[in-house]
Chains A and B, each alone.
Chain A
Amino acid sequence: MATTKGDERLRMSRRSFLKGMGVGAATSTALATGLVKPRAGKAAVPPLVEGLSYVPVELKINGRRYALTIEARRTLADVLRTELNLTGTKIGCDRAECGACTVIVDGRAMYGCSLLAVNVQGREIETIEGLAKNGRLHPLQEAFIEYDAYQCGFCTPGQILAGKAFLDKKKSPTLAEVKQALSGNICRCGAYHHIFEAVLAAAKKL
């Protein structure tokens, strides 16, 4: 089934999406590896799809329009990375827990791994690649460098976008508010202190 732009029925919030899909998605991952197969000798769970269902999709990313034909089951994060080579959006868990796939959709930070690409047609999508304008870094990007607010850097695009969506709406935040705003983005290297400092410093420049 082809979807049309702005089809309200397909617009889901992350929460309602997760309710319907999140647990199922996780289970299927485990099934795929054979790890939770219940008993010896039982047949493997049959494939979820019979044949492949491709749909045309039009996405608006960083102000540019992209027309694609993709499998309907693919997530926004997967399509950004695999079809458009926008690999700044990372995938760390693929089930809305780590925040590495954070993108901004219509001004809100959302987990790209838990949005189907077909469902975000017609919406303004911002990824990390769109943040610097004409080669000039966004103040948050500059602050992340200055304060050494990353180590391995794998969570960094997500941290910066979560910070941007937050600072776009909140001027002069407190430390507690910054922590709350970034609480959906795990930094395993533990660079949190420098991340907080960078966000607070950038807030003063915006």
Chain B
Amino acid sequence: MAAMKQIIVEGKTYTVEDESAALQGEGGTMLAPWGKNETLKYVGKRFPKKVAREKVTGEAKYAYDVQLPGMLHARVLRSSHANAKLLDLETSAAEKLPGVRAVLSHKNAGKQPWDRERAVFKDHVRLIGDDIAAVAADTEQIADDAVRLIKVKYEVLPHVIDVREAMRPGAPKLQPYGNIWEGKPKVYERGDLAKGFAAADVVLEETYTTSEQHHACLEMHGCVAHWQNGMLTVWDSTQGVHLTRDLLALKLRLPISKVRVLNEHLGGGFGSKNGVKEYHVIAAMLSRATGSPIRLFLDRFETFLLSSHRPLTIQKIKAGFKKDGALTAIDYEVIGRGGAWNDRGMYWAAPAVGSPTNELYKCPNLRTTNIPVHTNLSSPGACRGPGNTENLFALEQFMDEAAEKLDLDPIALRLKNFTAVYQPKNEPYFSNGLRESYEAAAKTFGWQRRKPKSTVEGTKRRGIGMSAVHWHGFEGEPSQALVTIYPDGTVEVNVGIANLGVGAQVIFAQIAAEEIDVPLEMVRVAYGDSAGTPYTINSSYGSRTTFQGGPAVRMAAADAKQQLIALAAETLKVPVADVQYAGGVFAAKSQPEKKANFKEVTGKLGWMQGRHLLIGKGKRLPNPAGRKVDIFGAQMVEVEVDTASGNVKVLRAVLAHDSGRPINTLTYESQVQGGFIQGLGMALYEERILDAETGVQLNANYHEYGCPTALDIPDQVTVVPIETHDLSNNINAKGLGEPPVTGAGGAIANALYNATGVRIRDYPITPSKVLQALRAAV
């Protein structure tokens, strides 16, 4: 039991776990967090990624690129109705087509379960795209032909696509409990709402909607599966080899040791490639049926339709303020469009939305109502910054509207309601760099020169706007890492992660190089194979990879270093306590002439020396109790609106982010810029447009969907790292991947208002919506 201590935050006393006692790894190793002003050699610097050369030469092998001898190609027949029972399924023509090796459906594949309510191959489909049958053939083209030869007879049943319609009495009922997930809204409450509103001088209420943004990863969803000698090996386009491995074992009722999942390179995930989908199980089943490796990838159309997406949300915010801007009450409601099946997608549809409203601003009286609604569509999922992005796109526009009503500067209103305490649990934050973020962003951007009205030049109007950034940190699940030292002096960090491409490999290498004090070139990183790596992270979601795995890597490096020092003592024939190490040289403190360089010492390893490899083990334990990790920031943009076309162009942006200690300032910049660009896409262009009758996505392609291209990118996007000294873990990191998406919508919408005087509360802010609003405002 770690020691507790008392700290005072905002005038109140909190009992929390003492970080110096709590930050020990398994086995009692103690590693204090790096000091605030500690000089570090490798951490906090710009280094190119470790996995680099193969990406620019085309040698990098993604799951999409894996080709095995005798590999077959699979395609899936999908339902063409949003709710229907299968009356007949005729596969004989497909089976007879030359080159076809297997056809699976509910008829011959038994009831291979998918989850508690459905089989992998359905005989009652609930959405357009549900899996009905699958074909394995010699080429993808033949598999395509064969799927077209399968005949299905349906009994069509009533369905519902529109979220409001699904909530009406008499709508087709999709689940035994009705269309609201598990029968009733999820409500979170604190304080006294009525009292809060009674105390308000100003009450404001507005409704905002956000669109179904799609992850649109360049590498489509899929895998190559090979079931051989009772062992299933899967090369997967996944964010986490361990989670995919564990879930596949569970779905197929295999021992975990009989499933191996590999991911050397991932072509985009953004939350859509965690865990398993039906296609994983289908590929495995086809491999078992044919004895051959199976390649099964969705095409682009299927990806847009089925791989999950950010939910459509309708958010109503009502809040009361004192004249000075202090919040007295918030009543928040979100309706989110979910899918047909009772799965995790229902959580992302609405319950996940709303945490910034609950947490970001100090408000004693609050109610949050989350209403996830079933419709006959595919399930939504986690999409980079899930929940917080949808919520902040609404909340940060709302705060701007409130600031205007209260005649306050938008930053002043936010500062007035600043809190250093995580309100749902009444726990202080380990660190909160929100104030510093506002300050630094404003200074870099030139916020004080903000004009309430726009500059006008012909049909072009310019304006500026800002938004807060918020993402929830984690409690720090246990995480393991290994650091192996080879006889030639190579330091190998071994971590169980996939490769999302954000640079976790170089970050872990920097941490190990820092701890051991070896040049970064001597460190390599082994990863991406569930069979050969420890459990560093189940899957890279939640911006946790560095935050969770980094402290374990540091622990493992420290353990390896201790063992190296013992080896050096033996080499130098002095006691362990007499050995010191610096700059690649081990020396005896008592006799400085006694020394050996790094490779002389590691040269004592190896089987010929009667020794094996030196393996350092590291484990990260949870954060010290009693405090919360959250991630903050501020984003500011300048836009130019063309009142003739309605087009909104972002000219420049300043992105100030508090993510604790930045480990690699080069990849940090890439992450923040990239996240902001995805947020910009969601704010201005991106939306799954569905046919109102069938739910088929009408723009299920890159051309019409509208991911930002080179021409949509602001010339200037400045990243300002805000370094808070966070004591939740031994590397002071908090997480970075997702927060940069969350601020773009509010900042852009507020800048649009500043430029034109019109509010668009319905994302994406398309030219037609802008023109309509401008016309209505005249």
Chain B, interface residues (CB within 8 Å), range: 35 or more
Contact A127 to B58, CB < 8 A, known contacts A40-B156, A85-B67, A95-B701: yes
Partner of B58, one of A91, A128, A175, A184: A128
- Interchain CB contact under 8 A, A152 and B710: no
- The reply to whether the CB of A179 lies closer than 8 angstroms to some CB of chain B is yes
- Interchain CB contact under 8 A, B502 and A182: no
- The reply to whether the CB of A21 lies closer than 8 angstroms to some CB of chain B is no
- The reply to whether the CB of A206 lies closer than 8 angstroms to some CB of chain B is no
Nearest A residue to B149 by beta-carbon distance? Answer: A44
Contact A88 to B300, CB < 8 A, known contacts A44-B151, A155-B218: no
Contact A189 to B268, CB < 8 A, known contacts A71-B141, A151-B501: yes
Question: Smallest distance from the beta carbon of B602 to chain A beta carbons, Å?
Answer: 28
Nearest B residue to A100 by beta-carbon distance? Answer: B218
- Interchain CB contact under 8 A, A186 and B145: no
Partner of A36, one of B80, B142, B154: B80
CB within 8 Å of B: which A173-196 residues:
175, 178-180, 182-196
Complex Cα distance A184/B145, Å? 31
- The reply to whether the CB of B132 lies closer than 8 angstroms to some CB of chain A is yes
- Interchain CB contact under 8 A, B58 and A89: yes
Partner of B56, one of A47, A160, A189, A190: A160
- Interchain CB contact under 8 A, B128 and A35: yes
Complex Cα distance A82/B68, Å? 11
CB within 8 Å of B: which A107-143 residues:
127-129, 131-132, 137, 141
- The reply to whether the CB of A1 lies closer than 8 angstroms to some CB of chain B is no
Question: Smallest distance from the beta carbon of A125 to chain B beta carbons, Å?
Answer: 14
- The reply to whether the CB of A204 lies closer than 8 angstroms to some CB of chain B is no
Chain B 244-269, CB-CB to A under 8 Å as 1, else 0, gives 00000000000000000000011111
Partner of B267, one of A30, A152, A184: A152
Interface Cβ pair total, 8 Å cutoff: 235
- Interchain CB contact under 8 A, A97 and B58: no
- Give the segment of B161-169, B350-358, B565-573, B670-678 that binds chain A: B670-678
Partner of A81, one of B65, B132, B150, B701: B65
Complex Cα distance A149/B676, Å? 16
Question: Smallest distance from the beta carbon of B103 to chain A beta carbons, Å?
Answer: 13
- The reply to whether the CB of B81 lies closer than 8 angstroms to some CB of chain A is yes
CB within 8 Å of A: which B19-74 residues:
48-49, 52-53, 55-62, 64-65, 67
Chain A residues whose CB sits within 8 angstroms of the CB of B99 once the complex forms: 52
- The reply to whether the CB of A56 lies closer than 8 angstroms to some CB of chain B is no
Partner of A190, one of B97, B98, B141, B708: B708
Contact A152 to B501, CB < 8 A, known contacts A81-B65, A137-B56, A180-B711: yes
CB within 8 Å of B: which A41-86 residues:
41, 43-49, 52, 71, 73-74, 81-82, 85-86
- Interchain CB contact under 8 A, B148 and A192: no
- Interchain CB contact under 8 A, A32 and B300: no
Chain A residues whose CB sits within 8 angstroms of the CB of B220 once the complex forms: 92
Complex Cα distance A33/B697, Å? 14
Complex Cα distance A154/B55, Å? 8
- The reply to whether the CB of B144 lies closer than 8 angstroms to some CB of chain A is yes
- Interchain CB contact under 8 A, A131 and B57: yes
Question: Which chain A residues have a beta carbon within 8 Å of chain B's beta carbons?
Answer: 26, 28-37, 40-41, 43-49, 52, 71, 73-74, 81-82, 85-95, 97-98, 100, 127-129, 131-132, 137, 141, 144-146, 148, 150-157, 160, 175, 178-180, 182-196
Lowest 9 A-B CB distances belong to which pairs? A88-B58, A190-B677, A154-B267, A190-B674, A128-B58, A153-B55, A152-B501, A87-B65, A97-B702
- List, sorted by A's number, 15 A–B pairs whose CB atoms are closer than 8 Å: A32-B75, A33-B75, A34-B152, A36-B696, A41-B153, A47-B148, A94-B300, A95-B701, A131-B57, A146-B48, A154-B267, A186-B709, A189-B501, A190-B673, A194-B673
Given known contacts A34-B80, A193-B717, A196-B710, what 5 new A-B pairs fall within 8 Å (CB)? A26-B701, A90-B62, A145-B52, A148-B670, A153-B55
